[in-house]
Amino acid sequence: MSATPSPDSPVPAYLQVAEALASRIEADEFEFQLPSERKLTREYGCSYDTLRHAIKVLRGRELVITRHGYGTFVKAAVRAAGLI
């Protein structure tokens, strides 16, 4: 389901990763929380900086929220659980 960003694409790697993660979120692949950054960097074959930039894009789209020390959560699931 995940794919390594294409270096030949005119789209920056962080946007490729953000789009892939957004698709997975919209498909309800992540029930409540995204996998760890370490796991996602391995899945997508990208650097931490690329992944963090992608997650920043997802935060800007209000798809996820991040809590330092706890992880990145699907905002709709957090809202549905009444936690925000």
- Nearest-angstrom CA–CA distance, 26 and 21: 9
Alpha-carbon dihedral of residues 66, 35, 19, 11, nearest 10 degrees? 100
Tell me, yes or no, whether 49 lies in a domain. Answer: yes
Residue type, 46: C
Per residue of the chain (84 residues), what is the pLDDT tens digit? 567 898 889 999 999 999 999 999 999 999 999 999 999 999 999 999 999 999 999 999 999 999 999 999 999 888 888 877
CA dist 37 and 20 (Å) reads 15
Is 0.75 topped by the overall pTM?
yes
Residue at 30 is within a domain:
yes
The verdict on residue 2 lying in a domain is: no
**Sign of CA pseudo-dihedral 76, 71, 53, 13:** negative
21 is written with which tokens?
């993660």
Task: Quickly tell me which residue has 């309800």 as its tokens.
Answer: 28
Number of domains in the chain: 1
